Structure 1
Amino acid sequence: MATASTHGPVKEHPLAATAVLSVVGYVLVLGTFAGIVDVFPPIGNDTVILFSDAIAVVNSFALTALLVGFFFIRRGDVRRHRAAMLSAFSLILLFLVLYLWKVGGGFEKEIVIEQGQFLAAYAGLIRPLYLAMLAIHILLSAVAVPVVIYPVVLGLTHTPAELKETAHARIGRIAVASWSLSLFLGVVTYFLLNHLYGWVPR
């Protein structure tokens, strides 16, 4: 992803840089959920709903950029691959800010399936399916953090020729697969929670 050779501690120690950035991300997320990191201004119900919609849009664009970037590298177009992947990564950072603000300043939502809604008679199956998709989405989001950061660190500090001597392509393929599935499930669960069924604050 880099267009010129760079030197420095990050290039020399990409695993260490990935570990540090991953830990910072985990601390920020877990601290926000635990109420320890209290840096987000309170927001009302309408803003929580707005953030939920914005997050779904951001994730949809991030998924698109990710798949487009994978398509470009398969064609050998490094420049467009780099632009698409950095766009996807930037969108995920935007998602993180919106999501943590929604959680830290607002609240989480719990799905409610009411009589008369789509396939409400099968709520006993739909709710566990929704929770399973949500769990996979969350798990992949957590596990994918270092897997996503590592190829980004490599790409920003190495030239295309240098990247051939690293694990950038191999780890990148794993990142694309896990990240894409996580984003897709995130959008699906958003649709189920906010448009097909209902919710209550949790």
Structure 2
Amino acid sequence: MTIRGYAHAHPRRVTAVVSAVGYALVLGTFAGVLPIFPAIGERTVLLLSDAIAVINTCALSALLLGYYFVKRGRIRAHRAAMLTAFALILLFLVAYLWKVGGGFEKEIVIEQGQFLAAYADVVYPLYLAMLAIHILLSALAVPVVVHAVVLGLSHDVAELPDTDHPLAGKLAVASWSLSLAFGVVTYWLLNHVYSWVPR
């Protein structure tokens, strides 16, 4: 049996395995038990931060285009846009894990004189709330996104309406888009509006 044939017969099993690998990579990197990323300096961390924001913006654009295309029955364009978004997220994952595993994370600092600094007691919790929603939705979206992709790649177009693909796709677009949007906003606040310190 081919990989496509196995995924066609057992899409949920394949989704579970791929999702588990993704979670293990992320959790292992954050816990410091996966020392697979070469050490990088501050300049590379900053470069990766900028690259991640560009990747996420492109992924969000591809997602929204994919949604637009499927609503108009342009299935091939929809498929291309969604696979582009998925490829960009895989690229994001590599860049993000390398930034965290080989470098460091940043913590926001609101200094006197910066935008709305007088309201730091409001801005800071709002930033944390957006960051929390971004992280939570990113984690929750993984199996939904993977399931939609597995079904899309393992089934013919005519079969997809009779699978979980339409529902998984809607949930994936909603959660993933909101996560990416909040990720880009928090990037701008952290890197271009306020200051930061290594964490």
TM-score (norm 2): 0.98
Partner residue, 2:136 = 139
Q: How many residues align?
A: 197
**Cα distance in 2 for residues equivalent to 1:142 and 1:57:** 20
Q: State the SS of the aligned residue for 2:138.
A: helix
Partner residue, 1:81 = 78
Bigger relative contact order, structure 1 or 2 (CA pairs below 8 A, ≥6 apart):
1
Q: State the SS of the aligned residue for 1:116.
A: coil
Q: Paired residue for 1:64, among 61, 65, 69?
A: 61
Residue 97 (structure 2) pairs with residue 100 (structure 1):
yes
State the one-letter code of the partner of 2:142: V
**Cα distance in 1 for residues equivalent to 2:106 and 2:152:** 37
Encode CA deviations 1:2-34: one digit per residue, 9 max, x unaligned. xxxx95211100000000000000000000000
- Please list every run of 5 or more consecutive structure 1 residues that lacks an aligned counterpart in the other structure: 1-5
Matches for 1:155-170 after TM superposition, within 5 Å: 155-170=152-167
**Cα distance in 2 for residues equivalent to 1:68 and 1:41:** 35
Q: State the SS of the aligned residue for 1:65.
A: helix
TM-score (norm 1): 0.96
Encode CA deviations 1:95-133: one digit per residue, 9 max, x unaligned. 000000000000000000000000100001100000000
**Cα distance in 2 for residues equivalent to 1:167 and 1:93:** 22
Partner residue, 1:127 = 124
State the one-letter code of the partner of 1:144: A
**Cα distance in 2 for residues equivalent to 1:53 and 1:170:** 33
**Cα distance in 2 for residues equivalent to 1:150 and 1:34:** 26
Query: Cα 1:65–1:7, aligned 2, differ >3 Å: closer, same or farther?
Result: closer
**Cα distance in 2 for residues equivalent to 1:80 and 1:152:** 15
State the one-letter code of the partner of 1:124: D
Among all aligned residue pairs of Structure 1 and Structure 2, give the percentage whose two residues are the same amino acid: 70
Encode CA deviations 1:158-199: one digit per residue, 9 max, x unaligned. 111011110101110010000000000000000000000010
CA RMSD, Structure 1 to Structure 2 (Å): 0.8
**Cα distance in 2 for residues equivalent to 1:8 and 1:58:** 32
